[in-house]
Chains A and B, each alone.
Chain A
């Protein structure tokens, strides 16, 4: 397979500092309200509800007082080598050549859910029902994000409409390139502990390019070669070990 050149264009990515994340869930709320995510009749049905951003709670499995708990927010990884894209029979999803964001076109999706099976991060969700919003809540819907219908797959888009908004604003000044703080997704903006950093991985001046060089930076299931653009940082050894499947004794501390 020909290796794609990922040094061209923008490659938007995210660094989530797990040592700073408190698991408060504000990013989830911000994501849901930003992206017109509908409310289900029974939100406790976690096999059917819609979440673009999920928080996983993991512990080191030790007894008190050695117990440690961390929370892993998991948006779409926007992989450089996305497993979901080549399997789509309808070409409803592809990798944007200029931003590196994996698109999902709802009107093109046929709902076969092949991409959901292909995604090792469970980042994609299926609309089992037509969208429904409690009375009054429909007035808070964003016109910038198109609502999804029953029978299609959806996923995190790094708040792609915010990128479009930022570009339009930059065009007023005649610019085509964006500054670092002009485009950030809703979850990044909402995070109260500033655990999430967002930026262009191809731009060495962006803070994110510095952060991913940290010896404590890692990605989820790196061995699958999906090349996620979402990085995590944790100083805890057991957290980094948990991010992938290792044989006993195989994992070496990379610090």
Chain B
């Protein structure tokens, strides 16, 4: 018995729905679910408020008080616990009513233990980044790469890529690498983009940023 060609045509009708459903499903998995699963979230050991330490706060500290350059040009990065103790010295007379400060006293200041901060902008081991060349010589603001950290009241969660072990701030929050602000991504291409824009093409050579 031969199949009616009209019948056969009818049976393939509606196949595109399955194609579309599969495509949309795959796109949702690839662009939404996978990027969420890719990163595991950790919170900082303490919530640190730059807003209540910075120049416009009651504490009124200059940025360079904690983030300074050593005499040999290396950058101090995140201050050690000794720097915290300079102000937060007496558990009996805390500077604020914040429970985070109590935590600071009991867990870190008391035993003089370093706070294991999770560093959002930590680059891979093969990368050399001199802060002094960018901050002093090129006069680039901290926020160009680090964003609005200086005015933040809390520490955002630290998201780490489960495959590479690097922070989400390196690749950027957008899986496609699309960025709105200069500080969204911290990949090699972002460094090169800025170098090229500022007419420093020579600095795109491998041995400028790699070690």
Q: List the interface of chain A (C-beta within 8 A of B).
A: 93-94, 96-99, 101, 103, 105-108, 144-147, 157, 160-161, 164-165, 167-172, 174, 176
Query: What is the CA–CA distance of A145 and B125 in the complex, to the nearest angstrom?
Result: 9
Q: Collect the chain A residues with CB atoms within 8 Å of residue B206's CB.
A: 93-94, 96, 103, 105, 108
Interface residues of B in 57-71 (CB under 8 A from A): 69, 71
Query: What is the CA–CA distance of A174 and B133 in the complex, to the nearest angstrom?
Result: 9
Report whether B205 and A103 are in contact in the complex, using a CB–CB cutoff of 8 Å: yes
Interface residues of B in 63-114 (CB under 8 A from A): 69, 71-74
Residue in contact with A168 in the complex, picked from B73, B205, B211, CB distance below 8 Å: B73
Whether A171 contacts B73 in the complex (CB less than 8 A), given A97-B205, A105-B206, comes out as: yes
Report whether A172 and B205 are in contact in the complex, using a CB–CB cutoff of 8 Å: no
Q: Collect the chain B residues with CB atoms within 8 Å of residue A144's CB.
A: 128, 211
CB distance from B137 to the nearest CB of A (A): 5
Report whether A168 and B126 are in contact in the complex, using a CB–CB cutoff of 8 Å: no
Report whether A146 and B125 are in contact in the complex, using a CB–CB cutoff of 8 Å: yes
Interface residues of B in 163-211 (CB under 8 A from A): 202, 205-208, 210-211
Whether A168 contacts B74 in the complex (CB less than 8 A), given A106-B126, A107-B126, A146-B125, comes out as: yes
**10 additional contacts (CB under 8 A) given A99-B207, A147-B125:** A96-B207, A98-B205, A107-B210, A144-B211, A146-B125, A157-B207, A160-B211, A168-B132, A171-B132, A172-B136
Q: List the interface of chain B (C-beta within 8 A of A).
A: 69, 71-74, 124-126, 128, 130, 132-133, 136-137, 202, 205-208, 210-211
Could you show 24 A-B contacts with beta carbons less than 8 Å apart? A93-B206, A94-B205, A94-B207, A96-B205, A97-B205, A103-B206, A103-B210, A105-B206, A107-B210, A144-B211, A146-B125, A146-B126, A146-B211, A161-B128, A167-B73, A168-B72, A168-B133, A171-B73, A171-B133, A171-B136, A172-B71, A172-B73, A172-B136, A176-B137
Query: What is the CA–CA distance of A174 and B137 in the complex, to the nearest angstrom?
Result: 7
Report whether B72 and A165 are in contact in the complex, using a CB–CB cutoff of 8 Å: yes
Q: Collect the chain A residues with CB atoms within 8 Å of residue B125's CB.
A: 146-147
CB distance from A170 to the nearest CB of B (A): 8
Query: What is the CA–CA distance of A101 and B208 in the complex, to the nearest angstrom?
Result: 11
Query: What is the CA–CA distance of A96 and B136 in the complex, to the nearest angstrom?
Result: 23
Q: Which partner residue on chain A sits nearest B131 by CB separation?
A: A168
Residue in contact with B72 in the complex, picked from A98, A160, A161, A172, CB distance below 8 Å: A172
Report whether A97 and B211 are in contact in the complex, using a CB–CB cutoff of 8 Å: no
Residue in contact with A97 in the complex, picked from B73, B126, B133, B202, CB distance below 8 Å: B202
Whether A103 contacts B132 in the complex (CB less than 8 A), given A146-B126, A172-B73, comes out as: no
Q: Collect the chain B residues with CB atoms within 8 Å of residue A145's CB.
A: 211
Q: Collect the chain B residues with CB atoms within 8 Å of residue A146's CB.
A: 125-126, 211
Question: Which of A99, A144, A145, A168 counts the most chain B CB atoms within 10 A?
Answer: A168
Q: Give me the 10 closest cross-chain CB pairs, A-B, nearest first.
A: A168-B73, A103-B207, A103-B206, A96-B207, A171-B132, A146-B126, A169-B73, A172-B73, A146-B125, A107-B126
Report whether A167 and B130 are in contact in the complex, using a CB–CB cutoff of 8 Å: yes
Residue in contact with A164 in the complex, picked from B69, B202, B205, B211, CB distance below 8 Å: B211
Report whether B72 and A164 are in contact in the complex, using a CB–CB cutoff of 8 Å: no
Q: Collect the chain B residues with CB atoms within 8 Å of residue A147's CB.
A: 125
Whether A164 contacts B132 in the complex (CB less than 8 A), given A103-B210, A146-B211, A172-B71, comes out as: no
CB distance from B122 to the nearest CB of A (A): 13
Report whether B136 and A174 are in contact in the complex, using a CB–CB cutoff of 8 Å: yes
Q: Collect the chain B residues with CB atoms within 8 Å of residue A170's CB.
A: 73
CB distance from B209 to the nearest CB of A (A): 10
Q: Collect the chain B residues with CB atoms within 8 Å of residue A106's CB.
A: 126
Query: What is the CA–CA distance of A160 and B205 in the complex, to the nearest angstrom?
Result: 13
Q: Which partner residue on chain B sits nearest A173 by CB separation?
A: B73
CB distance from A200 to the nearest CB of B (A): 16
Q: Which partner residue on chain B sits nearest A107 by CB separation?
A: B126
Report whether B211 and A98 are in contact in the complex, using a CB–CB cutoff of 8 Å: no
